[in-house]
Structure 1
Amino acid sequence: MTDPADSSPSGMRALLDVMARLRDPATGCPWDIVQDFASIAPYTVEEAHEVADVIQRGPDPAALQDELGDLLLQVVYHARMAEERGWFRFEDVAAGVTAKMIRRHPHVFGSAEIATAEAQTEAWEVQKSAERASRAETGVLAGVATALPGLTRAAKLTRRAARIGFDWPDAGAVLDKLDEEVAELRAELPAAEPARLADEVGDLLFVLANLARKLDLDPEGCIHQANAKFERRFGAVETALAAQGRSPADATLEEMEQEWIQAKRRGL
């Protein structure tokens, strides 16, 4: 077998061979042998998020290389399990996506002419629509993966609907809808019926995802930034209280709020 550490073009073959060894029913790893598509899928999603995280945190080529390797391993893992079932091989996956990229870029690999990124995006969507139709996936919203993060899927669903004119005219109209949804949630608070509250909170989140879309923002990116900001400011609250020999559990809400305000003023 090729040296697994080989970084030459044969390194891809080495990785495939390593996965085959791990999955060998007789001599492989006990943990790897019992995995299936469903059990590995959460790791695939996790690794994709870790790639996004290292990019978000800033330039770190070594970390990015490492995370991309982990993500590639997930593709190899799924392909190996498919090969064991006689469905397809990793080479088929690579060939399929190569053909897809060529098909979706006729201005690069053919005679079509596309002058702008916006025009390419539109051509890409036209091609994807044709591919969905060939798979008998009908309807404007067909093919939007249900496993996407909720806010991302909300934005993608309504982006699709917007292409045929089903959309708010501008961000101001979305804010009006947001006010309406807040009022509906307030009306449900006295009864506190969990199912109704969940429904109304869902509507609120859905509208917020669309507000981000109308402002050309990524809703998942927005909540990621908000989470990071909360962590920074709460960490500052803990640090300030620790300097006084206390912890948040020892402080009142008002005291923690004052430290929060100070952290906000410092730009955290």
Structure 2
Amino acid sequence: MEIDDGQQIMRAYETVRTMVSPGGCAWHEVQTHESLVPFLVEESAEFVDAVERELPASEVQSELGDVLYQVLFHAAIAERDGEGYNLQSVAESLNTKLIARHPHVFGDRGYMTVEELHAEWERLKEDAAGEVRGSRGPLEGIPAGMPALARAAKVVERLKRANLLDPSEGTDANSAPATEAQLGDAILALVTQANAAGVDPDRALRRAVDRMAAGLTETE
């Protein structure tokens, strides 16, 4: 008899639950959400790497499975330790949120453009949190712990979307990198210079992003 997708996921979940349970696997048994964070970051990075390197589908599938394993691991720990949720409740909450956040798909809002969706999602988030419409700041929900470059890109995109930043300001059209490769080389050159000067480039960028975000949002 063929096993459907849901049953396959539950079989994998049962395997992980067995490993984290007392008498299962000694290593799995002592892991916590905190101790697993580096593994989640690493597995996510390996999946991204597989996608960007355009590896064969079988390898991408394997890396995605490792990411799923981390999700199952965290859910099994939460269930074992009585934290009030498990894989089923995680999936149920996710499904409810997806439907609520996409009334243009599951409701009667009709087709919406990407630009309209950006504004709509912010309003839906406010409604879900019981907040007053328009009360959410443009940088609301961006994790402070994101990698500095990824966080910088997110902050810039959010501020641009809120009409608080013109990305073209402060750039020199004659020297600004025009391609992805040129930008990568320019960033690498800056990292090399930072190393020579004894400066942590990640820390420097985090602080620069904080200054930009504070300076542009405090005038709202």
| Number of residues of Structure 1 aligned to a counterpart in Structure 2 | 185
- Judge conservation of contact 1:132–1:143 (CA < 8 Å) in 2: no
Q: 1:31 to 1:200 in 2, by over 3 A?
A: closer
> 1:140 deviation in Å?
3.4
Q: Which one of 202, 205, 222 corresponds to residue 204 of structure 2?
A: 202
Q: Which amino acid aligns with 1:128?
A: K
- Of the structure 1 ranges 124-133 and 150-159, higher mean CA displacement relative to structure 2 is found in 124-133
- Judge conservation of contact 2:152–2:206 (CA < 8 Å) in 1: no
Provide the residue aligned with 1:146 in structure 2: 144
RMSD between superposed Cα atoms in Å: 3.4
> 1:48 deviation in Å?
1.1
Q: How does the TM-score come out when normalised to structure 2? A: 0.70
Compare the two structures and name the one with the higher helix fraction. Answer: 1
Deviations 1:213-244 (A, max 9, x none): xxxxxxxxxxxxxxxxxxxxxxxxxxxxxxxx
Once residues 163 and 24 of structure 2 are traced to their aligned partners in structure 1, the CA distance between those partners, rounded to angstroms, is 54
Extract unaligned runs of 5+ from structure 2: 177-189, 213-220
Q: 1:43 to 1:200 in 2, by over 3 A?
A: closer
Rg comparison, structure with higher value: 1
> 1:175 deviation in Å?
4.4
> 1:8 deviation in Å?
5.3
Q: Is 1:50 aligned to residue 52 of structure 2?
A: no
Q: 1:32 to 1:203 in 2, by over 3 A?
A: closer
Q: Which amino acid aligns with 1:43?
A: F
| Residue correspondence of structure 1 range 30-109 to structure 2 within 5 A | 30-58=26-54, 60-86=56-82, 87-109=84-106
Q: Which one of 115, 121, 124 corresponds to residue 127 of structure 1?
A: 124
Provide the residue aligned with 1:10 in structure 2: 7
Task: Report the identity percentage.
Answer: 31
Once residues 206 and 6 of structure 2 are traced to their aligned partners in structure 1, the CA distance between those partners, rounded to angstroms, is 50
Q: How does the TM-score come out when normalised to structure 1? A: 0.59
Deviations 1:140-186 (A, max 9, x none): 3221112221111112123333343321x34252449x99xxxxx9x
Extract unaligned runs of 5+ from structure 1: 1-5, 180-184, 211-268
Provide the residue aligned with 2:185 in structure 1: none
Q: 1:157 to 1:7 in 2, by over 3 A?
A: same
